[in-house]
Amino acid sequence: MKSIILILLSFFFFKSFLFGQLPNNAFNDSIKPKAIKRPWVATAEILGTNIIINRFDANIRNVEWAKVSPASWMSNIKAGFQTDFDYFTTNWLGHPYHGSLLYNAARSNGYNFWQSAPFTLGGSLMWEYFAETEVPSKYDIITTTLGGIYLGEMTHRIGEIFMHKIKKPGLRHTLTALVNPMSQVNYLVVKKSRQPNNDTAFNPLLNGQFAIGGTIPYSTTNNTLAPGAYLGISMIYGDLFNKTKKSYKPFDYFTLNSWLNVSFKDSLSIYFSILSGAPLFVKHLNKNNVLSISQQYDYLTSNVYKIGSIAVTGDYSFQHNGHNDNYLSTSLKAGFIILGSSQSEVVKYVYDSTYKFFYRDYIFGNGFTVKAEVLFKTKKFGNITGNINKWVIYAGDTKGVENLLLIIAGYDYPIWRKLNIGLQANYYMRKANYNQYPAFREIKKDYYDFRALLSLRF
């Protein structure tokens, strides 16, 4: 809880200290006319969302922790916080997605980015204390709130693209419901007609590509890896270097790199990953140089690693438009990990005999992160991309440190209109040290992943 309060205060401190006072309309929505705020509708939708999910878990899934009562509510209020038992996917994808529903209940009822954040925190606290019989987890509150705000604003923006750009009502509402179901729930609840295609104010730049291909993994510490398939999407929303923009709102620009790795070893296994960052405050030094403060959200899984991170970074970004449509863009990011996780063998060793239902195979902790990105586009010779990600996470309950590195390098060449062929190489390295436990004082693992891809730009 303290981490959430501190980071929200930090956002406002850095805004005033580094970027100065923004215009009065700096936090207004991009969509005009000005939205009408409906606090009671937003609150009712958050309450309804939590109740529906809880009743589904209790009556359909038949899980014991969802069978709450006034006695469990009082017990949770008195107990305080404890460590978390959940699976990695539950904590780092399930909870942020749940939080995005809570966030978009407010966002689709007239509230902007900052105004929707308290609704997300309130809905998360409501769930922890009144929708589970288990003692509340501070980790769940952080991932639900901060992860929910992040995924919520990103899906809100993508949903607005569908609402404003797709003319056929059936297709427009179906696609919007897939990425942002709360906006469509609210559309039905409020019964208010929208005229999205007549709004010329909403016209964000959107560039990216879909990719499909095969992958060949290799590791010096794991000889059980097998070839698989790859499906990915990369996206750049907005223009970070648009100096003519009068005011910058959070997520007016964001990057998303997401993919599925499918392994065919023995049985079918699917691993989902997200690397994403979004500036919250921006300062243009000139047309080619930008400073920003950003939120980073990372969720990475494979048959070798699990990495989760919610961080705040200070960024420097540079672009250069050369001759013959050549283009170079780079960025360097460094900051603090509010909450991070890494798969670790020591967790089972420490907790397995203590708790009956303990599904965690990863550590929690704070730390720092450093990232570097480069994009070099040429008209004749294709595009080169590079992405370096470093996380250092200090495990709180197991008294150790995880040093994690992920490098992604790619090249693609246009073969016909927007169709490209390409190659990509990934390198993962992990060094861990747990001095308190002799068997885990030095851990080192590495992993290589080579991909051949066919991609379509949009």
Q: Which range (28-37, 80-89, 113-122, 290-299) has the least confidence? A: 28-37
The closest alpha carbon to 71, from 136, 124, 123, 129, belongs to: 129
Residue 217 burial class via C-beta count within 10 angstroms: exposed 0-12, middle 13-18, buried 19 and up: buried
Residues 361-381: what's their mean pLDDT?
95
Q: Is the dihedral of CA 156, 161, 164, 166 positive or negative?
A: negative
Residue 31 neighbours by CB distance under 10 Å: 15
Q: Where does the pLDDT of residue 34 fall: very low under 50, low under 70, confident under 90, or very high at 90 and above?
A: low
190-216 exposure pattern, b = at least 16 Cβ within 10 A, e = fewer: eeeeeebeebeebebeeebbebebebe
Q: How far is CA 392 from CA 107, 373, 432, in A?
A: 33, 18, 10
Say how many CA atoms lie within 13 Å of 80 toward its Cβ: 1
Which residue bears the tokens 């709180």?
A: 396
The closest alpha carbon to 275, from 369, 192, 212, belongs to: 369
Q: How far is CA 331 from CA 67, 288, 371, 389, 423, in A?
A: 48, 11, 8, 12, 22
The answer, yes or no, to whether residue 442 has pLDDT greater than 70, is yes
Amino acid making up residue 370: V
The answer, yes or no, to whether residue 309 has pLDDT greater than 90, is yes
pLDDT tens figures, 349-364: 887 656 666 788 999 9
pLDDT tens figures, 403-438: 999 999 999 999 998 999 999 999 999 999 998 888
Give the per-residue pLDDT at 353: 58
Residues 39-63: what's their mean pLDDT?
95
Q: Answer yes or no: are the C-beta atoms of 67 and 340 closer than 8 Å.
A: no
Q: How far is CA 111 from CA 156, 235, 451, in A?
A: 12, 25, 42
Domains of the chain (ranges, CATH numbers):
2-198 (no CATH), 206-457 (2.40.160)
Q: Where does the pLDDT of residue 30 fall: very low under 50, low under 70, confident under 90, or very high at 90 and above?
A: very low
The closest alpha carbon to 347, from 364, 326, 324, 367, belongs to: 364
The answer, yes or no, to whether residue 453 has pLDDT greater than 80, is yes
Q: Which helix (H) or strand (E) holds 87?
A: none
Residues 439-452: what's their mean pLDDT?
92
Residues 302-320: what's their mean pLDDT?
96
The closest alpha carbon to 90, from 57, 45, 126, belongs to: 57
Q: Is the dihedral of CA 50, 52, 57, 59 positive or negative?
A: positive
Give the per-residue pLDDT at 313: 98
- The DSSP letter of residue 36 is P
The answer, yes or no, to whether residue 201 has pLDDT greater than 70, is no
Cα distance between residue 92 and residue 320, in whole Å: 36
Q: How far is CA 41 from CA 37, 120, 180, in A?
A: 9, 14, 17
Give the per-residue pLDDT at 25: 35
Residue 349, both tokens:
């060793």
Residue 8 neighbours by CB distance under 10 Å: 17
Residue 389 neighbours by CB distance under 10 Å: 22
Residue 56, both tokens:
């589904």
The answer, yes or no, to whether residue 454 has pLDDT greater than 60, is yes
- Identify the residue with better confidence: 198 or 335: 335
Give the per-residue pLDDT at 256: 97
The answer, yes or no, to whether residue 399 has pLDDT greater than 60, is yes
Cα distance between residue 47 and residue 60, in whole Å: 19
Q: Answer yes or no: are the C-beta atoms of 432 and 398 closer than 8 Å.
A: no
Q: Where does the pLDDT of residue 16 fall: very low under 50, low under 70, confident under 90, or very high at 90 and above?
A: very low
Residue 81, both tokens:
């916080």
Q: Answer yes or no: are the C-beta atoms of 188 and 138 closer than 8 Å.
A: no
Q: What is the mean pLDDT of the chain?
A: 88
